[in-house]
Every structure is written in structure tokens, then in C-alpha cells.
Amino acid sequence: MRVVALWLAVMLLLTGPVLAVAPVNEATIEAAQHYGRSKADVPLAVFLRPWTAYEEKAVRMDDAAERTCLYTPFLLLAADARDRTAAGETVTAADAGRVLTDYNGYVIFGVTLSGLRADFAGKVSASLRQGRKTLRPKIVNAPGAANETAWGYQAQVYFYFASRDVAPDRAARLTVSADDGLRRVFMIPLADYR
């Protein structure tokens, strides 16, 4: 009975508004989990590269560059499978249902920012522009202080936009501002991501 209830819950999630960027179906779940399991041993930056966009003024595309990662349902499922595989755990369909439920209704951008002070990312703001439409994030998850690196400081900030407001077939311009007074701009071709 629990298996049937779980299957039904996953199916309801798959046909609901969780479709933030690309449709999620059983084949997508299997492909995402396979991708995650097969990439369990690669560095995280390499794993995330297909979903990464660099700041438009970035000179080099390396660890020091400011970048954003678009966390699509596919990537969320793949990342979960990667983490579980690396920890020696089994990946199941129930995991997919939990992951999709946790992030239901959001388009998520993880943004890596660089600065010269530990507190440069204390207050961050973002906007997502598609055509004439400008969106503000519903949730901002920012660290209190940035991590020190060889080239200054870096902070990882997550912006959650309501998926119902984002057109998945249109490019978007993500603009991020921080306490250092700088504006970072990322061009994201949403339709190109799975």
C-alpha cells in the first residue's frame, strides 16, 4: 500500500507545477539518477558545468569567476543521486519524490560571488528579467560571511523564484547586487537546460 501511495505522490508531483524548466517524467527521473550515479566521483564543479553560466564580464571561466548554476529538476535529482552514490547509499524512486517535493514551485539559482571583504555578501538582492517582466526572488538564502580564498572571498547565495512566473522557453537575465556596490549580470538561456 505504501508503494502505491508513494508512486501516486510522485506521479502527482510530476504532472503539477514542479515543471520549473523542463518536463519531469519517469524517463527524466531515471536519466537524472543515472547521470548522478555515473558522476559520483567527478569534482562538483565539473558535475555542475552543464548548468553553469558565467558572469557576462568574466575574463576566465575558472574557480575564481563569478557564476550561477540553474538548479533544474533534472539537476536536483542528479545531484541527490550523486551524493547518495558517493556516500555508498542506494538511489530509489522515493528519493526522487522527496527531492521534487522539497523544491516544488521554484526555479533556483545558486550564485557564486567574489569580493574583497568577508562581509561583502551580507546583503544581496537579485532580479530576473524576461522581456519586459522583472521578477524578484521569493526566498534568498545567503551566508553571514564569505569564505576566504586565494583570490579574496567567495560566497554562495541561492535565489528561489516562483516557477509559475518564469517562462521556461525564454532566456533570462539574472542581475545580482551585493554590499560591495557591484552588479553582476548572468544571461541564462532557460530553454537550453534540461
Residue 52, CA distances (Å) to 1, 12, 14, 72, 162 in order: 41, 29, 24, 11, 20
Half-sphere exposure of 105 (CA within 13 A, CB side): 6
Instruction: Give the separation between CA 79 and CA 87, rounded to whole angstroms.
Output: 12
Q: Is the pLDDT of residue 180 over 70?
A: yes
Q: Tell me which of 8 and 47 has the higher pLDDT.
A: 47
Contact (CB, 8 A) for 28 and 74:
yes
Q: Is the pLDDT of residue 19 over 60?
A: no
Pick the closest to residue 99 from 82, 120, 79, 113 (CA basis): 79
- pTM: predicted TM-score of the whole model, two decimal places: 0.84
- Give me the pLDDT at residue 22, please: 59
- Give me the pLDDT at residue 3, please: 35
Could you read off the pLDDT of 34-61 as tens digits, one per residue? 999 999 999 999 999 999 999 999 888 8
Task: Output the CA torsion 114→115→121→127 (10° steps).
Answer: -60
- The residue extents of the domains of the chain are 2-192
- Give me the pLDDT at residue 21, please: 54
Q: 35: helix, coil or strand?
A: helix
Contact (CB, 8 A) for 182 and 175:
no
Instruction: Give the separation between CA 117 and CA 88, rounded to whole angstroms.
Output: 38
Output phi, psi for 4, to 5 deg.
-65, -40
Could you read off the pLDDT of 85-143 as tens digits, one per residue? 999 999 998 889 999 999 999 999 999 999 999 999 889 999 999 999 999 999 999 98
